[in-house]
Structure 1
Amino acid sequence: MGRIEYYHDPKAPKPNSPVVACNLLVTDESGAILLQRRRDTGQWALPGGAMDFGETAAQCAIRECEEETGITAEITGFLGIYSNPNHIVAYTDGEIRQQYENCYIGKPIGGEPTINEEADGVIWVAPKDLDRYDIHPSMRQQIGDYLSGNYPYLG
């Protein structure tokens, strides 16, 4: 399923679906950040996705990280709540979401970077190299808040 992201775009369609999503910003011992390249947009992003019934937000973040990157991680902190009404995601099936993401901080405890049906690239990126990658502004905000120590973000 494809998607189009609208970010501060007055032509964005009206949302019709509230969905809680959870991200996990994982750093290794050198400080590199785990990123996955989304197959649906081609952009690099933190691992994350929609919460399933029967799981907590933290469990969702851990599950999504492992599913999308092959890396098993544990949560070490909370980065913030990101609920920007100017970030709209329209899916080809007609669902239109307003962004709502809980973002956690974590560290790897196992696994190897692995591509899959959602991600065609998985890498560890040193903070100094982040500008080389096409990263959506919403993800850049989350990464920037982490790197600046400006968290938890409650917006």
Structure 2
Amino acid sequence: MSLKWLQWAQQIQAISQAGLAFTKDPFDKERYVELRNISADILNQYSNLQFDEIEELFANERGYPTPKVDVRGVVFKDGKILLVREKSENKWSLPGGFCDVGLSASENVVKEIFEESGYIVEVKKLLAVLDMTKHAHPPQLYHYYKLFIQCEIVGGNSTTGIETSGIDFYDVSELPELSLSRNTAAQIELMYEYYQNPLKETWFD
């Protein structure tokens, strides 16, 4: 679950971003920039990120703030789930990533699975829409929604991509070290429930 300081920092940043998007008053603009700096300072004090790095990221955000969207592909084979090893952490995750503008959620997950694993898939079902702040992920700068989408392999071959260094299918009881910023063991266990019960309704939050 998210820490309270992180929730405060995200909320302050969102208020400042929305204010900067709509205000026409130069004095209000200064106040919203100050709020953004306070948010960056909170994150700097309680995380490993540097103030200048955080401030630059926030300054590049424009328009009304909304949660960012991350898709994760859920692919089963003989009762085991497809995972890829992320080069950035050398840990494992469901294939996926942030949604690209111009593509639907299903188009994004098909693209991500192919790029990270080499498999060509068809989308079958939206299994879950999870709010990252309600699950055991490490603190993140932004607020994310994670879409878990079940897919079926229809072609391709196991091939690592630019961001991955390993591909394998794992039994849910023998998971490798996971990239917790991307997925948790509890979430993968939830996905396995859909393998056991295909009629299970979509889970959200």
- Smaller-chain TM-score bracket: 0.7 to 0.9
Residues 41 and 89 of structure 1, relative CA distance in 2, 3 Å threshold: farther
Shift of residue 12 of structure 1? 5.0
- Of 75, 82, 94 in structure 1, the residue corresponding to residue 123 of structure 2 is 75
Amino acid at match of 1:60: N
Q: Which has the larger radius of gyration?
A: 2
**More helix per residue: 1 or 2?**
2
Report if the CA contact (8 A) 1:12-1:88 is conserved: no
Amino acid at match of 2:170: V
- Of 135, 139, 151 in structure 1, the residue corresponding to residue 178 of structure 2 is 135
State the match for 1:33 in structure 2: 81
Question: TM-score if structure 2 supplies the norm length?
Answer: 0.60
**More strand per residue: 1 or 2?**
1
| Greater RCO structure (CA 8 Å; 6+ sep) | 1
State the match for 1:4 in structure 2: none
> CA separation in 1, counterparts of 2:184 and 2:154?
23
Report whether the alignment pairs 1:109 with 2:154. yes
> CA separation in 1, counterparts of 2:159 and 2:142?
28
Shift of residue 53 of structure 1? 1.4
Identity across matched positions, percent: 23
Structure 1: 5+ residue runs without aligned partners? 1-6, 91-95
Equivalent residues in 2 for 1:87-102, closer than 5 Å: 87=137, 90=140, 96-102=141-147
Structure 2: 5+ residue runs without aligned partners? 11-57, 62-66, 195-199
Deviations 1:65-122 (A, max 9, x none): 11111111111212110112254665xxxxx322311110111111111122211111
State the match for 1:62 in structure 2: 110
Residues 69 and 60 of structure 1, relative CA distance in 2, 3 Å threshold: same
> CA separation in 2, counterparts of 1:113 and 1:128?
22
Shift of residue 123 of structure 1? 0.9
Name the Cα RMSD after superposition.
2.4
Question: TM-score if structure 1 supplies the norm length?
Answer: 0.77
